[in-house]
Amino acid sequence: MKRKIVFLTGAGISQESGIPTFRDSIDGLWENNKVEDVATVSGVFSDINRSETFFNSLKQKISECSPNAAHIAIADLAKDSENFEVIVLTQNVDDLHRRSGTPVEKTIELHGNIFRNRCRSHPDISGTDFKEARGCSYTGAHYDENWKFPQACPRCHKPATFSPDVVLFGEALDFSALSDAEYHASTADLFIQIGTSMEVFPVAALIESVPISKRAYIDIEKPEKNGIYEYEFIGKAAEITPKVCNMIKEQKL
Ligand code: OAD
């Protein structure tokens, strides 16, 4: 019988790829920008030029980074589809799971993907084609210094609401992505949390449906609470994750 292995990843998994974690980056990532100017819907659309510069500089930094051994180990485990069903739930918008080879249909990007664009005029539409219905388009993980917010949504043709598909402060997560994530978390044989402070809801609540006996934890810091994970691995994601994936393959975990 196939084992279902669900990974929930946060900024810590990409730290060794050179992308600062959210908490470490308050100075670096946001540079001279106020969060309310570049990371809220009203801020983003109040000054398109400023937002283009901000998102372009993020895209430039991210496109210069590569998947590390943690992303690659997960993608390798996913290749063994005879024995495992691997699902990646990620809060990262950096595209590194996709670039490491984890199948797109097995990766749920709960906070979006900076290399995809999305129109915010459309109401949430559930279903498999919701991204297309919302006018989403994936531009590939490359940086183009001349990149501009798309001129118009291919679906509703409105110009000012089409921007990178990242969940901004105050915005709801995509309903369909969240309910798929809830389903996978609750049906996991093993749920492995990597490099996330679990401070941001609703993603942090996903673990609630996983029995403690099925929970594993990988992080450089010890968990804040004792006894809520069956397995704890303290260390850098890029060092620990390949070992954990080998343990899974060898049926030691
Ligand atoms: P955080 O920055 O809150 O937490 C990063 C976690 O990674 C911490 O627990 C660190 O101890 C750990 N960490 C750092 N370096 C590591 C390494 N090399 N190996 C393993 N662990 C490491 O990032 P997230 O939990 O991802 O949302 O933040 C969640 C969300 O908060 C983000 O997606 C973002 C933010 O609001 C949105 O933008 C919508």
Our mutation pick for probing the ligand 1 site, out of 219, 221, 225, 240, counting the most ligand atoms within 8 A of Cβ, is: 219
Task: Write down the residue that tokens 């943690």 correspond to.
Answer: 70
H-state helical runs in 150-236: 175-186
Of the candidates 107, 105, 99, 97, the one whose C-alpha atom is nearest the C-alpha of residue 13 is 97
CA 120 to ligand 1 center in whole angstroms: 26
pTM of the complete model:
0.92
Q: Give the span between the Cα atoms of 55 and 67, in whole angstroms.
A: 20
Both tokens assigned to 105: 């249909």
| Residues linked to residue 76 through DSSP beta bridges, in sequence order | none
240 lines ligand 1 (CB under 6 A): no
Cβ–Cβ under 8 Å, residues 192 and 244: yes
Tens digits of pLDDT across the chain (253 residues):
899 999 999 999 999 999 877 766 654 566 667 878 888 888 988 888 888 888 888 888 899 999 999 999 999 999 999 999 999 999 999 999 999 999 989 999 999 989 888 887 765 544 444 555 556 666 666 677 777 787 777 777 777 777 888 999 888 898 888 999 999 999 999 999 999 999 989 999 999 999 999 999 999 999 999 999 999 999 999 999 999 999 999 999 9
Q: Give the span between the Cα atoms of 238 and 240, in whole angstroms.
A: 6
CA 156 to ligand 1 center in whole angstroms: 35
Predicted local distance difference test score (pLDDT) of residue 134: 56
Provide the pairing of β-strand 112-119 with 215-219: unpaired
Of the candidates 91, 61, 62, the one whose C-alpha atom is nearest the C-alpha of residue 197 is 91
Q: Give the span between the Cα atoms of 45 and 22, in whole angstroms.
A: 23
Helix (H) or strand (E) holding 85: strand 84-90
CA 82 to ligand 1 center in whole angstroms: 32
Report the b/e string of 98-119 with b at 16+ CB within 10 A.
bbbebeeebbbbbbbbbbbbbb
Query: How far from each other are the two terminal CA atoms of the chain, in whole angstroms?
Result: 15
Predicted local distance difference test score (pLDDT) of residue 9: 98
Predicted local distance difference test score (pLDDT) of residue 180: 94
Provide the pairing of β-strand 215-219 with 231-234: parallel
Cβ–Cβ under 8 Å, residues 150 and 162: yes
Ligand 1 atom 30 nearest Cα? 200
Q: What angle do CA 89, 90, 93 make, to 5 degrees?
A: 145
Predicted local distance difference test score (pLDDT) of residue 29: 61
